[in-house]
Structures are given as C-alpha cells and as structure tokens.
Amino acid sequence: MDTISLIALLLVLAAAFSILNHHTLRVPVTIGVLIFSLLTSLLVMVLNLLIPAYDLQALPRSVLGVINLPAALLNGALSLLLFAGAMQVDVGHLRAKLMSVTALSILGTVLAVAFLAGAAWSVFPLLGHAVPFTWCIVL
C-alpha cells in the first residue's frame, strides 16, 4: 500500500470514528477517536486470533516496519497535535487561571522528573549499571 492510500485510509477512519462518536458517545472528538481506534485495534487482534488463516496484522506490521516512527512522530505528528491543542485553548480563561496553571505545570514537571529519576536511579543498579542520580535527572 502506498503512502497516499495510507493517508486516505487514516483520514476516512478518523472521519468515520468522529461521526460514530458524535452519534453514540458524545465525548470530545479526540477522546472519541482514540476510543474507537483502540476498539478497532482490539477487534483486529481478536479476529486475528479467531481466524488465523487471514493475517489481519500483516498490513500494520509492514507499515510500522517501514516507517521511522520516532522521526515521524516528532517531526510530523507532534506539531499537528500541538497546533490542534492550542486551537482549543480559551486564552481569556487561561489568563484568569494563570497563577494556578503556572504553579501546577511547574510542580507537575518537577514531580515527574523526580519520580522518573528516582525510578531510573533505583533500577539501573539492578541491571548492573550504577548511574549517578544527577545523570538520572538528565535522562
């Protein structure tokens, strides 16, 4: 399957999932598309187990084997997701909650870094690599 066909398939699936979400779940579009995508993936996995003659996972495996996923996500999808998220922000409401948003974002970042650094610092010696805590913070 070529690139244009894959993009067309993804767009058709996203549109279909959005319409299904609008008529059934009525949750925000991004959450609805995610839910239907996960359900579709689960359905493909179950059908692949029930009907092993048809390898339903062959196409996803071949596509994921060709794509450089980190580059595609960081250079392609991330900018689109950030733009879509920024379009939904109410700037007036954000300004009204500026102090709490700032405090929570800084606190959340510090706690996430501390938790991940602590986890890495405690796991690395179990793997035979003693890494200083400061380097675990950098990781």
Over its length of 139 residues, how does the chain's per-residue pLDDT go in tens digits? 788 988 899 999 999 999 999 999 999 998 999 999 999 999 999 999 999 888 888 888 888 888 888 888 888 889 988 898 888 889 999 999 999 999 999 999 999 999 999 999 999 999 999 999 999 999 8
Q: What is the pLDDT of residue 96?
A: 97
Query: What per-residue confidence (pLDDT) applies to 116?
Result: 97
Structural Rg of the chain based on CA atoms: 21
Identify the pLDDT of residue 17. Answer: 97
User: What does the pLDDT read at residue 49?
Assistant: 92
If one counts every other C-beta atom within 10 angstroms of the C-beta of residue 33, the result is: 19
pLDDT of residue 127: 93
Q: What share of the chain is helix, strand, coil (3-state, %, to 5)?
A: 80, 0, 20
Predicted confidence at residue 12, as pLDDT, reads 97
pLDDT number for residue 77 = 87
Structure tokens at 4: 């244009």
Amino acid at 41: S
Alpha-carbon span 134 to 139, nearest angstrom: 9
User: What pLDDT sits at residue 53?
Assistant: 87
CB 56 within 8 A of CB 41: no
Which of 42-68 are b and which e, b meaning 16 or more Cβ less than 10 Å from the residue's Cβ?
A: eeeeeeeeeeeeeeeeeeeeeeeeeee
Residue located via tokens 């179950």: 46
Residue whose pair of structure tokens reads 């598309």 in the numeric block: 33
